[in-house]
Amino acid sequence: MPLDAICLRALTNELKGQLLGARIDKVQQPARDQIVLLLRGNLRLLLNAGPNQPRVQLTEVLRENPAEPPMLCMLLRKHLVGGRITEIEQSGLERIVTFTVRSVNELGESGTKKLVLEAMGRRSNLLLLDEDDRILDCMRRVEFEVSGARALLPGLYYQLPTPLDKLSPLTDPEGAVELARRGGGAEETVERFLLDRYLGISPLIARELALRAFGAADARFCDRADGCERLAVEMERLAEAVRENRFTPTMLSREGKPVDFTYCPITQYGAETVQTTFPSFSALLDAFYTERDRQEAAQRRGRELTRTVTSAHDRVVRKLGMLEKEYAASQDRDTLRLYGDLITANLYRMERGAARLTAQNYYDENGAELDIPLDPLLTPQQNAAKYYKRYTKAKTAEKHLREQIDKAIGERDYLESVQGEIALAQTEAEFAELRRELGDDKVVLGLSGGVDSSVAAVLISRAIGDNLTCIFVDHGLLRKNEFRQVLDDYRCLGLNVIGVDASEEFFTALAGIKDPEKKRKIIGKGFIDVFDREAHKLTDVKWLAQGTIYPDRIESLSITGHTIKSHHNVGGLPEKMNLRLCEPLKWLFKDEVRAVGRALGMPEHLIKRHPFPGPGLAVRILGDITPEKVRILQDADDIFISGLRESGLYDQVWQAGVILLPVQSVGVMGDERTYESAVALRAVTSTDAMTADWAHLPYEFLAKVSNEIINKVRGVNRVTYDISSKPPATIEWE
């Protein structure tokens, strides 16, 4: 509810008792509509001029401040810091409160300033006035053409809003009731009557007065003969309580959600609404808005999750349609074999160059003739072989397509069930219940340092807390200084992380290995071995969590039986570990993963981090891997990535890195001939990693990076730039 005038009166009285004489030590502006005054004695005064929740209160909630304070904040610091609050006054029974501050300026002269909060819904504002009530500045400037009657601009004299033509329930509680006694408004609802004729009364209080006087919150004056007399009594009781400052700060909650607050107990909602009283209005408002903001954040996350799941569901449905179409086409494979048989049976009468063959179908009981298309560029034998090959391929494809269709149906059904659960989840607790699929089980997650595993870790951690243990393995193939930096980031996120330096183990296993698939499999097995070893040090671990995303799965599977590349994080779980696999992001593309990270409140520098392959720099070293090659690549990569950041190009690129080529070339360094390694810079733009185009980086930038790498990285004398797109190339070279 908006803060009504009587609630503001109660707040004003509270603040008078606590803040008069208080010294202002700091001024902060954590949000556009919010000002926080830090007062001597560890008091924090919040003034919110937002249209949806305008209020003034003492708060214990810490709010993050921007790196650069806004202009209004700087102005308030200039005039208010060091001053003392000498007066706090509400303007009549309006939703306007004024803080008078006495301070000393730069010349040592004492003077006063006024800070005026107008808590009037969408017209809410915060103004700083000088001692002559001239506006120094305000949160929302109002031009003359916007509000001809009342402009709010620096240099103008401040004017109160035009007072409403209504009665005060404090000075004339029965004035309007007398009108009702005489028959005016007999058909009108009591609520509407009170709202139209009295200042400071909210709809909630109007309905409560109607209930107490007439027996129903929606009552009309004609519903009860003695209602006016009873209403006059209730109005006088209200006025007396307000005049004597007898307030009971009360929050109303329904199904765990805060729905309203007021200054007295409420009876109109009955048992379905829980009433909680607080020692002060400031404590009430802190609790009310903190809980409401938390639930609204949960709802926003729910909407993000809904969009993500819906997108994944639609994608699976489209995929299923294509698979079923391909499957239907594969069912015609027997015709292909028949064509091959008939061509073979008629080789004796076929000539090379023919475009068609008309032959009797000896499999048909009626001996019908078939017209078989031929490739005139092929021999009769080659045409037959072509049809047999297509038959064999279709037969093989049928099996793979059937498997893929069954998987797609399972994926679709699962996503539909998740959609249904999300639709029912209205509170943070319900979303937590949705994410508590893991129950009380312990989970171990293999972190790579990339966006995918990081988002998966935070998502699972929010669901199960300390039951998640993350293992971050340094296989010696990370970027320069990445092991330490990433560990620091994870710990700042509150993750329980174990860092394992296994670089020597991986280097030993990779010695002399040049084949890219073998390198990936060795690294994948190495990860699993390390996980297995570390997991056995933990107790009651039942799940292995991974940051697998949808492109990983696609590139690791093919209906033809050929794999684009292996992923150690795609189902690479040996039975000996006796752990179940948890992949919360496996239906998402990279852009959707980043959206989930933002919904979880993760910092942007982690969310925007370029994708980095699980096998690390191993896929960027063509040929065998040695510590010296890794050192060269780390140094060159650090220069490239740092250059992208410094030039403001990092966020314009989807993924970037340096490739160490298995060639050496002649160069000249100083007066000496060199014969050293060449590297290739790789930078691409993409949205989902399924397709990518090479990034058109400025020539000047490329020249600068090239010179820096050659001059600073020992062992490199030539730099190239990869301008191939995906497809046909992949983003990584291996």
pLDDT of residue 572: 47
Residue 62: Cβ-neighbour burial (10 angstroms; 0-12, 13-18, 19+): exposed
Confirm if 203 and 191 have CB atoms less than 8 A apart: yes
The encoded tokens of residue 610 equal 């370029």
Asked if the peptide bond before residue 373 counts as cis, ω within 30 degrees of 0, the response is no
pLDDT of residue 624: 87
Positions of E strands within 119-159: 125-129, 135-138
| CA distances, 130 to each of 156, 158, 332, 370, 379 (Å) | 11, 10, 88, 100, 99
User: Can you tell me which residue has the tokens 């009433």?
Assistant: 275
What is the Cα–Cα distance from 41 to 379, expressed in whole angstroms?
97
Residues in the chain, total: 734
pLDDT of residue 116: 94
- pLDDT tens-digit map of 564-614: 444 444 444 445 556 777 777 776 777 677 777 776 777 777 777 887 777
pLDDT of residue 524: 80
Task: Return the H-helix or E-strand segment holding 656.
Answer: strand 655-669
- Tell me if residue 227 falls in helix, strand or coil: helix
Residue 38, Cα to own-chain centre: how many angstroms? 31
Spatial CB neighbours of 604, under 8 Å, sequence gap ≥ 6? none
- Tell me if residue 307 falls in helix, strand or coil: helix
What is the Cα–Cα distance from 245 to 265, expressed in whole angstroms?
15
The encoded tokens of residue 280 equal 């002060």
pTM, entire model: 0.48
Spatial CB neighbours of 329, under 8 Å, sequence gap ≥ 6? 394
Name residues of the chain where pLDDT drops below 70.
1-2, 145-149, 176, 179-186, 298-303, 419-439, 550-578, 587, 591, 599, 670-671, 687-689
Residue 555: Cβ-neighbour burial (10 angstroms; 0-12, 13-18, 19+): middle
The encoded tokens of residue 410 equal 């399972």
- Tell me if residue 501 falls in helix, strand or coil: strand
Confirm if 252 and 259 have CB atoms less than 8 A apart: yes
Kindly report the backbone phi and psi dihedral angles of residue 625, in degrees, each rounded to the nearest multiple of 5, phi listed first: -115, 130
Question: Which residue type occupies 37?
Answer: L
Which of 634, 629, 662, 657 has the alpha carbon at shortest distance from 644? 657
Cite the DSSP H helix spans in 425-515: 428-435, 451-464, 482-492, 503-510
User: How does the average pLDDT of the chain come out, rounded?
Assistant: 82
Q: Which residues pair with 677 in a beta bridge?
A: 664, 716
- pLDDT tens-digit map of 298-310: 666 666 777 777 7
pLDDT of residue 278: 92
The angle subtended at Cα 122 by Cα 119 and Cα 128, nearest 5°, is: 50
497-501 and 55-58: which strand pairing? unpaired
